[in-house]
Structure 1
Amino acid sequence: MPARQRLVDRSAVPPLAALGCAILFIALTGLAAERLGIPVADLTRDPASTMGVHPFIGIVSTIGILLWTATASICLFSAARARRGGSDEDVRFLLCTGALTATLLVDDLFMLHEWAFPLHIGVLEEIVYGTYVLIFLLYYLRFRGPLADHGLPLLLLACACFAASILCDQLVPNEGLQYLVEDGFKLTGITAWFLFHTRACSRILDTAARANRSTSSTAPSRGRVQPGPGSPATGPAASAPRPGACADPGDRAR
């Protein structure tokens, strides 16, 4: 029995922390509604129910948000799993990809580049776009090795679609079919981004699993004592009688 027992199992800490964050977020939501004079229902209910519009309103944007969320979650989870058997470079690649995707998710979900930054912070939308281009360039230069290993066509397609969506937003008049083209390019880019990185995560986890199996198969068994030079031999060879010696004292009597 261990001398000192743990009060809380380590495996229970992440679920408890997640539940605590959820409760804290609910409490902060109620406090913000009271301080800002906003009805609580406006912050808790579905937007379609609050605005009294059709549930399919914004469906293309909603699907894009789901794909951003899935990509970020898969990359961060794979980074945690790849720490056992995977290379440090692969872990850093997945962590940075998850963080970058989560940033794009928050921007898209809360309209940061087209509403929060220009109207409330004073940063022009063009500056935000330029910052994202610089971030993508640095991301590619830092991880060009892993990116090339997992196939660049899907990633290039994603970047091309993102660029086409930005050009449509900046150059084409905002009317009619323009929204379908702009948001269509954007959703196609997010889908390609999702497919590229989920495939990369699958390959990295397979490599880490093979490395773990190889390590476990070559590691010596614990608790097995290897006989030394002066140790008595064991096994069938040790039980065989030596030449000129009787195996049993009863054989001499006979």
Structure 2
Amino acid sequence: MNLLRMENRIEQKVVVHLRLQWQRNRYLVGGATLIVACCVAVVWLAARLWHINPVILLRDIYVVVGAEPYAGLISNIGVLGWCVAATIWSITVYLLHPHRADPRYGLAVSAGVITAILLIDDGWMLHEYLLPQLTGLGEKVFLAGYALLAIVFAGYALPRMLQTDYLLAGIAAGCLGTSYLIDIVLPFTPHHTLYEDLAKFSGIIFWAAYTLSVFRDVVKTQQGRLL
């Protein structure tokens, strides 16, 4: 009898804990479920409408194309760099949300958005391949659009950046700007492509480092508010 009561108490505690966990995490559960559902829908639609083998979308890219595991190593690290930066900007926005008067809040929001755009562009080769294929417009049209976006971002973010340790941001901007100019001005040759990719990779890494510097200072500020 005592054993049965103990089992019932354990079951009740488990149910209570699960309910509390659901209340605290219901939006995260819903978000994760939505992402999974959207990905499954994309795979299903691709198979039904465009007759794309689901294996191509689900399997590792190296298995699909038969490439060596080290193929695209630096490019993949660059995409991870964008991802790290976008994630840290998002956390910074979360930390500063109660203090939206802080100029770093607007910087984090705008920088997080543009970093996410560049992450998606670099990961799926939007301006090089996908967007020209879908619209019939040339790559340089989209490069011009990115230049305009960069100018708008700089106009908004630069005054806020100057209140941070902006050295790393300056190096990142110089490297990314060099990559952009190489892509626009120089002919498409293996040597020029190598220089462009190295400049872009350097810009990504220094941008992620700048993101970390802003995050570090925000954390120090938050700690100071708690004291």
Please, what TM-score do these two structures have when normalized by structure 2? 0.82
Cα deviation per residue 1:37-94 (whole Å; 9 max; x = unaligned)? 1111100011111011101111121111000001001101121122245644322221
Aligned residues: 208
- The question of 1:170 aligning with 2:177 is answered no
Instruction: Name the residue aligned to 1:42.
Output: 56
Query: Is the radius of gyration larger for structure 1 or structure 2?
Result: 1
Asked if structure 2 preserves the Cα contact closer than 8 Å seen for 1:68 and 1:104, the reply is yes
Aligned amino acid, residue 31 of structure 2: A
What is the aligned-residue identity percentage?
Answer: 23
Asked if structure 1 preserves the Cα contact closer than 8 Å seen for 2:106 and 2:157, the reply is no
Asked if structure 2 preserves the Cα contact closer than 8 Å seen for 1:72 and 1:102, the reply is yes
Aligned amino acid, residue 42 of structure 2: T
Instruction: Name the residue aligned to 1:137.
Output: 151
Q: CA deviation at 1:133?
A: 2.0
Q: CA deviation at 1:30?
A: 3.3
Structure 2 unaligned spans of 5+: 1-18
Instruction: Name the residue aligned to 2:28.
Output: 15
Q: CA deviation at 1:208?
A: 2.4
How many angstroms apart in 2 are the aligned matches of 1:181 and 1:27? 38
Asked if structure 2 preserves the Cα contact closer than 8 Å seen for 1:68 and 1:101, the reply is yes
Aligned amino acid, residue 124 of structure 1: G
Instruction: Name the residue aligned to 1:98.
Output: 112
Of residues 17, 25, 38, the one that matches 1:25 is 38
- The question of 1:194 aligning with 2:208 is answered yes
Structure 1 unaligned spans of 5+: 1-6, 215-254
Q: CA deviation at 1:10?
A: 4.0
Of residues 20-29 and 153-162 in structure 1, the stretch that sits farther from structure 2 once superposed is: 20-29
Q: CA deviation at 1:210?
A: 1.3
Q: CA deviation at 1:194?
A: 0.8
How many angstroms apart in 2 are the aligned matches of 1:141 and 1:30? 40
How many angstroms apart in 1 are the aligned matches of 2:137 and 2:56? 28
TM-align CA RMSD:
2.2
How many angstroms apart in 1 are the aligned matches of 2:173 and 2:214? 17
How many angstroms apart in 1 are the aligned matches of 2:164 and 2:39? 40
Q: How does 1:97-246 map to 2 (within 5 A)?
A: 97-211=111-225, 213-214=226-227
Cα deviation per residue 1:87-121 (whole Å; 9 max; x = unaligned)? 44322221211111000111111111111222321
Structure 1 or 2: more helix by fraction? 2
How many angstroms apart in 2 are the aligned matches of 1:44 and 1:170? 34
How many angstroms apart in 2 are the aligned matches of 1:150 and 1:88? 12
Q: Kindly tell me: are residues 13 and 180 of structure 1, through their superposed partners in 2, closer, same or farther at Cα, counting changes over 3 Å?
A: same
